[in-house]
Amino acid sequence: MEPVFQTVEVEEITECYRIIKRLGQGAYGQVLLAQDKLTGKPFALKLVRKDRTKLKSFLMELSLSISLSEHPGFITTYPIFTHTMDYYAMTQELATAGTLHHLIQAEAGLSEEIVKRCAVQISSALDYMHQKGLVHRDLKPDNVLLMDRDCHHIVLGDFGITQPVGSFVISMSHIIPYMFPELCDISDEEYLILHPSVDTWAFGVLLFVTLTGYYPWRRAFSDDLMDLDYVYWLDNLSYIPTPARWDQFSPAANTMLSNLLVPDHSCRHSVLSVLNYINFPWKTDVNGGNHGRLKVQWTVTVTVNLSRTL
């Protein structure tokens, strides 16, 4: 059953909300920190420009966001549709600690404990989407929202390009490090059939970035030398040394990441496969040895607040 929401039409968004500051901005709109004038409660207000987005597309994202709110791994979106002359607006809970992007330190990443905490929660949320026949399509640190800076509770957001499994996907004008290789490689006249392995690839890149503070490649395409090194290594694991960007990981972590980042989409493992490696070390020590030699047992406890109230 489609979610039911209240529709509010106003001349200016300030009729309902007190705007405190801008949290983010893009080509299609902006996200504001706002306060409900009646209750005083703070919200994240996502404004989408009407001249850049069709009403049908916005309502699809709103309905999808409300539906996913049933799971603790997604940002809560409230059943309110507000629109002005220039914007469509959706009201969401406030991620009080910002985004994962702002937490990652360049060239250093995050502690292994925090990355594992994130991995458990993100894999659960993605698996929930995949079980519902949906593909996020835009998994990256900017869209992982934090309820606390130690990542005990994180959620996924931004479902603007989320689509059902089996949808047609055409080529894109720009290529980013999270883009799966099969999309990088198609021409303007071709299309792909959407599969959950798209999120698996992006999840692997996200784990690499959070562990290191930099990308494994600029783009997963044959003209990128770092990607070429990686693919050649995968094809010759028994004969050549580990590439420089990958030798900082433990054997278990390299296996985990290479199972997610398989160039052949039909061979990629499930996002839940990371759970098989949680109790193994993921990074090598400063002397190039493996943490596993220290006989340290890693455990990650994820505490998620299941209480969701408006």
Q: Identify whether residues 71 and 169 lie together within a single domain.
A: no
Tokens 């479902």: give the residue. 159
Cβ neighbours of 79 (radius 10 Å): 17
The answer to whether residue 91 scores a pLDDT higher than 50 is yes
* Residue 177 shares a structural domain with residue 30: no
Catalytic residues: 138
CATH number assigned to the domain comprising residue 179:
1.10.510.10
At 310, the pLDDT band (50, 70, 90 cuts) reads: very low
Give tens-digit pLDDT for 203-227. 999 999 999 999 998 766 667 677 6
pLDDT for the residue numbered 292: 35
Q: Are residues 133 and 208 in the same domain?
A: yes
HSE (side-chain half, CA atoms, 13 Å) at 148: 10
Q: Write out the residue range of the structural domain in which residue 215 sits.
A: 100-294
User: Quick check: is 299 in a domain?
Assistant: no
pLDDT band at 240 (very low <50, low <70, confident <90, very high): confident
Q: What is the pLDDT of residue 182?
A: 72
Contact 148, 304 (CB under 8 A): no
The reply to whether 73 and 164 lie within a common domain is: no
Highest mean pLDDT among 123-127, 296-300, 301-305: 123-127
In terms of pLDDT, which residue wins out, 26 or 260? 260
Query: Of 70, 92, 114, at which residue does a domain stop?
Result: 92
Q: How far apart are the first and last CA of the chain?
A: 21
The reply to whether 37 and 143 lie within a common domain is no
Residue 31 sits in the same domain as residue 145: no
What per-residue string of b and e applies to 218-234 under the rule 16 or more CB within 10 Å gives b?
ebbeeebebbebbbebe
Question: Tens digit of pLDDT for each residue in 98-155?
Answer: 999 999 999 999 999 999 999 999 999 999 999 999 999 999 999 999 999 999 999 9
114 and 78 fall within a common domain: no
Long-range contacts of 274-277, Cβ-Cβ distance < 8 Å, separation of 24 or more: 274/119, 274/120, 274/123, 274/203, 274/207, 275/120, 275/123, 277/252, 277/253
Once rounded to an integer, what is the mean pLDDT over residues 72-96?
A: 95
More confident residue, 81 or 240: 81
Quick one: 163 and 130 in the same domain? yes
- Spatial contact of 179 and 220, defined as CB atoms under 8 Å apart: yes
Q: Assess contact for 253 and 282: CB atoms under 8 A.
A: yes
Q: Residue 27 and residue 53: Cα distance in Å, rounded? A: 11
Q: Determine, yes or no, domain membership for 310.
A: no
Question: Both tokens of residue 282?
Answer: 């993921």
Number of domains observed in the structure of the chain: 2
Q: What is the pLDDT of residues 250-295, one digit of tens each?
A: 999 999 999 999 989 999 999 999 999 999 999 986 444 444 322 3
Compute the distance between CA of residue 107 and CA of residue 110 in angstroms, rounded to an integer: 10
Could you tell me which of 102, 93, 96 has the C-alpha nearest to residue 44? 93
E strand segments, the chain? 6-9, 17-26, 29-36, 42-49, 77-83, 87-92, 134-135, 144-146, 154-156, 163-164, 168-170, 191-193
* Confidence at residue 301, expressed as pLDDT on a 0 to 100 scale: 40
For residues 41 and 13, state if they share a domain: yes
Percentage of the chain exceeding pLDDT 70: 85
Residue 156, φ and ψ in degrees, nearest 5: -95, 145
Query: Per the structure block, which two tokens stand in for 21?
Result: 């500051």
pLDDT by residue (tens digit) across 155-195? Answer: 999 999 999 999 998 876 666 777 777 776 766 777 888 89
- 64 and 201 fall within a common domain: no
- Is position 281 within any domain? yes
pLDDT for res 2:
64
Whether 306 is in a domain gets the answer: no
Report the C-alpha gap between 280 and 80 in whole angstroms. 44
Last residue within a domain, chosen from 71, 92, 113: 92
Both 19 and 129 in one domain: the answer is no
Mark which of 39, 72, 92 sits at the end of a domain. Answer: 92
Which residues partner with 88 through β-bridges? 48, 83
Q: How many Cα atoms occupy the beta-carbon half-sphere of 78 within 13 Å?
A: 21
Buried/exposed code over 23-37 (b: 16+ C-beta within 10 A; e: otherwise): beeeeebebbbbbee
